[in-house]
Structure 1
Amino acid sequence: MPQATTAVPAATLPQIPVSALAPWAIFTALLTVVVLFFVGAEQGAFSVFEGTAIHEWVHDARHVLGYPCH
């Protein structure tokens, strides 16, 4: 005797309009640029803060990302 099967409705993904994502994409891009500046360029020719505090805080990140710092 064949078993009865029940059809399962397909899952639907919510659709998010691009206009709702655009501010978050811009914010993320801006934040990424700021972080990359502090990791890659701070304490160099474009130093924002005096001293070596920022350099020491991001020192290991520089090495992980391949930035030379010494």
Structure 2
Amino acid sequence: MAQSAVPSAQQSRPAPVRVPVREVVPWAVLAAVLGLVLIYFVGAEQGATSLFGGDWVHEFTHDGRHLLGFPCH
């Protein structure tokens, strides 16, 4: 006999996986802070907002700055 494409009531479905929010929130906050720091260094670390003297941060992030559309020249 051919098998039906529609599952019958007798077949069991796997239980959905529960994601514990209390375990995910600290990692999400850490990822957001790291992302903001990265965007700062790529997009704003030069000129009047510079935290570090010299051009080494600018030169290190130069290609990423152009890739993300930030002006630098």
Deviation of 1:9 (Å):
5.0
Q: Structure 1: give runs of 5+ residues left out of the alignment.
A: none
More displaced stretch, 7-16 vs 54-63: 7-16
CA shift for structure 1 position 18: 1.1
Question: RMSD across aligned C-alpha pairs, in angstroms?
Answer: 2.0
* TM-score of the pair, normalised by structure 2: 0.78
TM-score by length of 1: 0.81
SS at match of 2:47: coil
Percent of aligned pairs with the same amino acid: 44
Distance 1:53 1:64 in 2: 18
Deviation per residue, 1:8-28 (Å, 9 max, x gap): 754444211111110001000
Equivalenced residues, count = 68
Question: Structure 2: 5+ residue runs without aligned partners?
Answer: 5-9
- Per-residue CA distance 1:33-69 (angstroms, 9 max, x = gap): 1000000110122111111000001000000110000
Deviating runs (4+, > 4 A) in structure 1? Answer: none
